[in-house]
């Protein structure tokens, strides 16, 4: 069945980022603690996934943009360095930016390894009653959607999280669960319900008692298995706003928020309190500015 409900913003967020090996960087942001205890004590982590050069980049003669060690990356390619150096007189070695993150995943790392190393703890926290979020951030063609949605042969964060939730429900002996799904797009500062495209009355509201942000009239579907969730995602994807950019012939120009609302209560206590938490999995539009894409920057 379906219902319309509020969209609650997460109370706890963590971050995962990912640069590419080309001068432009990709960032994936996620809500990952490193242990159940850490998930309660540390709200935000930033992680980077470095992708390999694409065939197009290789054909165009691009060099590797970054080097890395442990959790740190160093910029190695500077498209405008010669011009800057001739003006400033500074040497390249003195300008190499170094960035350190909570987690760094190098080329060849699978999405499954990222999920097991970082994201699984976020999902576990949501199943335990905490609001949690995962954000994928970066320029177009740097791997955000590949990481979040994946392919049949390499599932992304969203399908892996969905399977984890239902696996936990199957194993649970003392709790019963109800899962609800919503799928929303933000395009040109307008909200669109991807599960109910005809709905135009979405409105952001604040619950003054809890302090959470909600979206009025956002449709939610009660789901009982992973296949039902994936069918809803597929239907929602058909309603997204996409367009061609200089980076990608089929590029989303919108943000999407896929949310699982998780209700749980003690099986042995009918009068027990129902716990409600949310897991938000967010695929952001390309971070490049319109001016940069059009060559006006």
Q: Which residues are annotated as a binding site for ATP?
A: 138-145
Binding site: residue ranges?
A: 138-145
For 117, other C-beta atoms within 10 Å of its C-beta total 16
Q: Which DSSP string do the residues of the chain spell out, in sequence order?
A: -EEEE--PPPSS-------BSSSS-EEEEE---SSHHHHHH---EEEEEPBPPPHHHHHTTPPP-EEEETTEEEE---TTHHHHHHHH---GGGT--EEE-SEEE-TT--HHHHIIIIIHHHHHHHHTT--EEEEEEESTTSSHHHHHTB-SSSB-HHHHHHHHHHHHHHH-SSEEEEEEEEEEEEETTEEEETT-TT----EEEE-TTT--EEEETEEEEEESSHHHHHHHHHHHHTT--EE--SS-SSEE-SEEEEEEEEEEEETT-TTSPPEEEEEEEEEPPP-S-HHHHTT--
- The answer to whether residues 137 and 287 touch, using CB atoms and an 8 Å cutoff, is yes
Token duo for residue 53:
């050069």
């Amino acid at each position: 069945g379906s219902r319309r409900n509020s969209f609650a913003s997460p109370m706890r967020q963590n971050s995962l980022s990912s640069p590419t090996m080309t001068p432009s960087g990709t960032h994936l942001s996620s809500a990952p603690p490193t242990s159940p205890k850490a998930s309660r004590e540390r709200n935000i982590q930033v992680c980077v996934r470095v992708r390999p050069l694409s065939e197009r980049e290789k054909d165009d003669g691009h060099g590797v943009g970054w080097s890395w060690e442990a959790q740190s990356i160093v910029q190695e390619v500077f498209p405008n360095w010669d011009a800057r150096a001739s003006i400033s007189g500074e040497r390249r070695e003195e300008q190499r930016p170094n960035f350190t993150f909570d987690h760094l995943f190098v080329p060849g790392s699978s999405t499954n390894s990222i999920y097991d190393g970082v994201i699984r703890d976020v999902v576990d926290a949501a199943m335990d009653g905490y609001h949690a979020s995962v954000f994928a951030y970066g320029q177009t063609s740097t791997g955000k959607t590949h990481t979040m949605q994946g392919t049949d042969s390499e599932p992304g964060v969203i399908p892996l999280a969905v399977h984890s939730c239902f696996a936990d429900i199957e194993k649970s002996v003392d709790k019963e669960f109800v899962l609800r799904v919503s799928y929303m797009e933000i395009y040109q500062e307008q909200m669109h319900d991807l599960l109910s495209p005809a709905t135009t009355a979405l409105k952001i509201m604040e619950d003054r008692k809890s302090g959470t942000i909600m979206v009025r009239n956002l449709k939610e579907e009660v789901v009982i298995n992973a296949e039902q969730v994936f069918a809803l995602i597929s239907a929602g994807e058909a309603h997204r706003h996409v367009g061609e950019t200089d980076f990608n012939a089929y590029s989303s120009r919108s943000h999407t928020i896929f949310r699982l609302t998780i209700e749980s209560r003690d099986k042995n206590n009918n009068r027990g309190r129902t716990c409600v938490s949310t897991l938000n999995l967010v695929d952001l539009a390309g971070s490049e500015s319109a001016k940069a894409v059009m060559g006006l920057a």
